Structure 1
Amino acid sequence: MTTGSTAQEFDAYTLFDDVPYGTAMLNGTETILHAALYLPNSYSAPPPLLLWLHDGAFKFGSYKQRICGRVGRRMARAGIAVAAIQYRLNATPEDLSPTVRDQFDELMGKSTRLIRNGLTHHRSLAAMEDCVVFLNWAEQQADLYGWSGGRVIGGMSAGGITALNALFTAPSLGLNRPPVAGVFCLSGGYTYPDLVHAPTQTRVLALHNPDDRRVSIRGVRMLKEKLGDRMELLESDSMIHGRIALTPDERPMVSFARLSEFVRKAVNQ
C-alpha cells in the first residue's frame, strides 16, 4: 500500500510496518521517520486513530517495542486504528525546526519545573515536532488507510509528555496541528501552566503514581486543576511507572478496555 512498508494480515487486523511518514534532522542528518499501523480488518464506520508514543526519556526506546505491539493489536481488535510512531531520540538544539528553535529560550522561561529539566528541553521538543508531522500526515492519508477524522494521542512516560506537548505546546509555538479529540497519558507530565487554556474541547485521561520519582505527578495535577471536568486523573500508589495497568494485579482486559472506552468517548463527544 505504501512504498517501503510491509503488510501482514491477521484474523482481526492488518499490520503495515515501517511506513514512512516524514523526515527530520537528527544530529545534522536528514532522517526518515516511520510508523507501524495496526488497522482493523472490518468495521461499519471508519475507525478512530490512536497515535501511540513509546517511553524512554527521549534517549532510547522504539515504536516496535512490546507494549506498542500490544496496544496496536488490542485496539485494532476493538475496532480502533493505531499508529505506533518513531520519533527522534537524543536530538540536539540544532535539530529543531527554525520555528521552535527561535522560541526555545522564551519557552524555557515559562517552565515551572513540574517535571525534571531533562524531560523538557530540546529532546522533548523534537519528539513533539515529529508527533505533529505525523498528525498532519495522518490527515492526508485518511482516505488511503480508511481511518476517521477522530484523533487521540496516547503514550507512557516520555510518550505521555510528548502527547501533552503536542496538545498544548505545539499550537502556542505556531505549529500547524490538526484537531485532537483526546490525550491518554501514562506516567507523563506537563510543565507549562501558562500554555493551558480552559475550557478545551480535548478530553484528557491520566494515570499516575503519586510517589513516581521518574516523572513527578505535579504536572498532571496542575492540568487537572486547570481543565476541571475535561480531565480525569486516576492515582494509584501501586502503579508501576510506564505500565498501562493502574495496579499490578489489574487484568490486561481491564486496562485495555479503559483505553478503548476513552478513545471512543473522546472522539464521540
Structure 2
Amino acid sequence: MPVFADIAVTTTATLDLWLPEAAPRATLLWLHGGGFLKGSRKEPVAAALAERLLPQGVAVASGDYVLSGSAASLPAGMRAEQREFSRQAQQAGLRMARRLHGPAFAAALLDASALVAALAGGAAHAATAGRPVIVAGHSAGGILALSLAYPPQQWATRIAPPQAVLALAAALVHPWALRAGGPPARLLVANRDRIVPPADAAIGAQMAAERRADLVLVETGIAGHNQQIAALFDGLDQHGHPWFALLERLIEAAAEVS
C-alpha cells in the first residue's frame, strides 16, 4: 500500500494517504473523533479502511484538524454566526455537549473543508484530483462529516462539500440546513449513547424527511458510542448484511456519478 504521510494542508490540518495500485476511482476521507479536544489521524481505523477499500480501487485518507479551536481563531464574519447557530442547535432540542457545536467545532469544520478541497483538487496528491470524495467519521468526526454535506447557508461558500457521507455515533448540529438535492448521508447510531444521544440524531432524521433530504438514520441495535466503529467493520443488520456495505454503496454511487 503506497502511503504518503504527513501531507500538510493548512497549519493545523494534515493528511495521511493510501493509494491503490491503479488510479483511484474515489477517495474516502476518514475524520477521527475525540470531542474536538483530542484524537489523531494515526489511529488504526484509517489503516483498516485502507486494507478493505484499496483492493476496490478506492484511495483512503486520514485527516487531522485543529483541536480546541477558539472563537478568536475563526474568521471575523463567522464568530457571531457560530454563536447564533449554537443557540439554534440548543433550541432545536440537541442535548449533546455545547462544545460539540461551539467554536472548536467551527474551527475544525474549516480544516475538514480544506482537507476535502485538497483531495478533490489534487493539492494533496495528483492521483486524487477530480475524484469524488466521500467523508466518513466517528463522533466529532461524524459531526464534521455531516456538516460538510449540509452547512448553514451562511457558511456554504466556505465549505468544500463531499459527494457522500457516513457518520458514526454522531448527529447533525445544524438540522435546519438540510435540503433536497444534497449529498447522500448515512448515520449509523447506537440505541444507547452517553456522548451523542440517539435523540439528537433523530432530530436530523425527522427534519430530513420533512425537507426530502437524503439523510438516513440507521440504528445498529448495539449500545455504546465507540462500539459503532466495530459495528461498521464487523456488524450485521437484521437481514445478515454487513453494515460495511453501507459505506461501499455510498462510494459506488459517488464513483458512478463522477
Q: Same fold (TM over 0.5)?
A: yes
Given the superposition, is the C-alpha separation of residues 134 and 249 from structure 1 closer, same or farther in structure 2, using an over 3 Å criterion? Answer: closer
* Whole-Å separation in 2 of the counterparts to 1:212 and 1:246: 14
CA spacing shift, 1:236–1:172, aligned 2, 3 Å:
same
In the TM superposition, what is the alpha-carbon distance from 1:171 to its structure 2 partner? 4.7
Measured against aligned partners, the alpha-carbon deviations of 1:165-202 in whole angstroms (never above 9, x if no partner) come to 222226532443334221101001123222222x1231
- Look up the match of 2:62: 84
* In structure 1, C-alpha distance between the alignment counterparts of 2:206 and 2:10, rounded to whole Å: 36
Unmatched 5+ stretches in structure 2: none
Count of residue pairs brought into register by the alignment = 245
Listed as ranges, the gaps of 5+ residues in structure 1 are 1-12, 24-31
Aligned residue number for residue 38 of structure 1: 18
Query: Aligned residues: percent identity?
Result: 24
User: Residue 83 of structure 1 aligns to a residue in which SS?
Assistant: strand
User: Hey, what does 1:238 align to over in structure 2?
Assistant: 222
Q: In 2, distance between residues paired with 1:69 and 1:139?
A: 20
Quick check: 2:70–2:103 contact (8 Å CA) kept in 1? Answer: yes
User: Do 2:3 and 2:16's aligned partners in 1 also have CA atoms closer than 8 Å?
Assistant: yes
Give the Å deviation of 1:209: 0.8
The equivalent of 1:151 in structure 2 is 133
| C-alpha spacing 1:149/1:62, structure 2 compared with 1 (3 Å) | same
2: CA distance, partners of 1:139 / 1:211: 36
2:75 is aligned with 1:97: yes
Q: Which has the higher helix share?
A: 2
In 2, Cα distance between equivalents of 1:51 and 1:172: 24
Structure 1 residues 268 and 179, CA gap change in structure 2 (3 angstroms): farther
1:66 aligns with 2:66: no
Identify the residue that residue 117 of structure 1 maps to in structure 2.
98
1:56 aligns to 2:56 (yes or no): no
- 1-side partners of 2:232 and 2:166: how far apart? 17
Counterpart CA distance in 2 for 1:257 and 1:104 is: 35
The letter for the 2-side match of 1:187 is A
Does 1:166 pair with 2:148? yes
Alpha-carbon distance in 1 for matches of 2:248, 2:193: 25
Match of 1:250 among 217, 235, 252: 235
> Structure 1 residues 235, 41: CA separation in 2 closer, same or farther (over 3 Å shift)?
same
- After superposition, the Cα gap between the structure-2 partners of 1:174 and 1:231, relative to the gap in structure 1 and judged at 3 Å, is closer
Counterparts of 2:244 and 2:235 in 1: how far apart (Å)?
10
Q: 1:189 aligns with which of 171, 175, 178?
A: 171
The answer for the alignment partner of 1:209 in structure 2 is: 190
Counterparts of 1:3-14 in structure 2, within 5 Å, are 13-14=1-2
Instruction: For residue 18 of structure 1, give the secondary structure of its aligned residue in structure 2.
Output: strand
- State the 1:147 CA deviation: 4.7
Map of 2:252 onto structure 1: 264
Distance of 2:142 and 2:17 partners within structure 1: 19
Secondary structure of 1:16's partner? strand
> By how many angstroms is 1:263 displaced?
1.5
Per the alignment, in what secondary structure is the counterpart of residue 173 of structure 1? Answer: helix
Go from structure 1 to structure 2 and tell me whether the alpha carbon gap of 1:174 and 1:38 turns closer, same or farther (over 3 Å shift): same
With normalisation by structure 1, the TM-score equals 0.81
1:121-132 equivalences under 5 Å are 121-132=102-113
Q: Distance in 2 between matches of 1:52 and 1:170?
A: 22
- With 240-249 and 130-139 compared, the bigger mean Cα shift is at 240-249
Kindly provide the CA deviation profile for residues 142-176 of structure 1, in whole angstroms up to 9, marking residues without a partner as x. Answer: 77124543121110011001111222226532443
Q: Could you tell me how far 1:84 is from its partner in structure 2?
A: 0.6
